[in-house]
Amino acid sequence: MSAQVDKQTGRGAVLYVVATPLGNPGDLSPRAVETLADVELIACEDTRRTGSMLAAHQIRTPTISYYEHNEERRVPELIERMRGGAAIALVTDAGTPAISDPGYRLVRAAHEAAIRVVAIPGPSAAIAALSVAGLPTDRFVFEGFLPPRDSARRSRLKELATEPRTIVFYEAARRLSSTLEEMSAVFGPLRVAAVVREISKTYEEIARSSLDDLVRRFNENPPLGEVTLVVSGATDDVREEAGAVTLGMLLEAGLSLKQASSVIAKATGRSRREVYQEAIRSRGVEDTEEE
């Protein structure tokens, strides 16, 4: 069903997903200003914070709270208003909505209701930090916030230890030092990373070094503000070493070489045949696998 059929959605029915400044108010684009001024309602995390931003641009559009704990209740209400022909803007406290912030449920519901969804692009802490980190950007993964519990966080980091792409995390300043320590232990102390703090604000800081050095730096000078952490991916040597360790553990657990190769292939996304051939070469045994 088309998202622009008037009988279904009303002529003005649309959801604008509007990116807002990370800190510097000058980063609100002219198109975002125009959109926020023209819509009938703005759904935002914190009405006071968004209200201050709107006042700075002489925007008088009404706001309504939309955050994690009322999202389930708000979605049907907002969808109903848009079905009646309303144009609504979705914003977050800072950056692009729905990126480690509430929003995707409303966007999904709008699509399901055949309501037009329009992106008004702009600031994103993940992309801004990646652009200034000095690490490979041709391929990267966004992890957002790590699990808050120690065991779950350590488990997730172990899963990422052999990830070859640059990894982008969000982290609370109060947990940065402990997270860096865990990353140093799991990824290795020499893995290069960049801590990008307070992007676009007065005290913006980019600290790029080894994880070991960053641990010392932020243990001595605990950070404040918003933090994005960009970590380099694992090198081929690290991945091969991790694979060898895993293979040995699986064989000790009673799996055959073929079975262990299948497990490693699924975990790494590599070809099972490739892993198997590599394993028999490293262990000096004959290839007994049938084609």
pLDDT of residue 41: 98
In-domain check, residue 188: yes
Quickly state the pLDDT bin for 238 (edges 50, 70, 90).
low
In-domain check, residue 50: yes
Where a domain ends, among 123, 146, 174? 123
Lowest mean pLDDT among 70-74, 90-94, 137-141, 262-266: 262-266
Quickly state the pLDDT bin for 9 (edges 50, 70, 90).
very low
In-domain check, residue 186: yes
Quickly state the pLDDT bin for 271 (edges 50, 70, 90).
confident
Where a domain ends, among 83, 108, 123? 123
Say if residue 55's pLDDT is above 80.
Answer: yes
3-state secondary structure at position 4: coil
Domain that holds residue 73: 6-123
3-state secondary structure at position 191: coil
My answer on whether 131 and 223 are in the same domain is yes
Tens digits of per-residue pLDDT, 82-113? 999 999 999 999 999 999 888 999 999 999 99
My answer on whether 213 and 242 are in the same domain is no
pTM of the model: 0.77
My answer on whether 41 and 131 are in the same domain is no
Lowest mean pLDDT among 14-18, 189-193, 242-246: 242-246
My answer on whether 130 and 116 are in the same domain is no
Say if residue 10's pLDDT is above 50.
Answer: no
Number of domains in the chain: 3
Where a domain ends, among 123, 140, 163? 123
Is residue 50 within 8 Å of residue 80, measured between CB atoms? no
Is residue 162 within 8 Å of residue 239, measured between CB atoms? yes
Tens digits of per-residue pLDDT, 250-264? 777 788 888 888 877
- Determine which helix (DSSP H) or strand (DSSP E) holds 47, and give its type and residue range: helix 47-56
Residue 90, number of CB atoms within 10 A of its CB: 26
My answer on whether 10 and 115 are in the same domain is yes
pLDDT of residue 290: 45
Cα atoms in the Cβ-side hemisphere of radius 13 Å centred on 134: 10
My answer on whether 224 and 270 are in the same domain is no
My answer on whether 177 and 76 are in the same domain is no
3-state secondary structure at position 17: strand
CA dihedral 204, 209, 212, 215 (to 10 degrees): -10
My answer on whether 28 and 119 are in the same domain is yes
Q: Across the chain, what does the average pLDDT equal?
A: 87
In-domain check, residue 290: no
In-domain check, residue 288: no
CATH code of the domain containing 142: 3.30.950.10
- Determine which helix (DSSP H) or strand (DSSP E) holds 7, and give its type and residue range: helix 6-9
My answer on whether 163 and 209 are in the same domain is yes
In-domain check, residue 1: no
Is residue 210 within 8 Å of residue 194, measured between CB atoms? no
CATH code of the domain containing 70: 3.40.1010.10
In-domain check, residue 81: yes
pLDDT of residue 256: 84
Say if residue 221's pLDDT is above 80.
Answer: yes
My answer on whether 119 and 130 are in the same domain is no
Say if residue 175's pLDDT is above 60.
Answer: yes
3-state secondary structure at position 278: helix
Instruction: Tell me what percent of the chain is helix, strand and coil, each rounded to the nearest 5.
Output: 45, 20, 35
pLDDT of residue 2: 37
pLDDT of residue 251: 79
My answer on whether 227 and 242 are in the same domain is no
My answer on whether 114 and 132 are in the same domain is no
In-domain check, residue 289: no
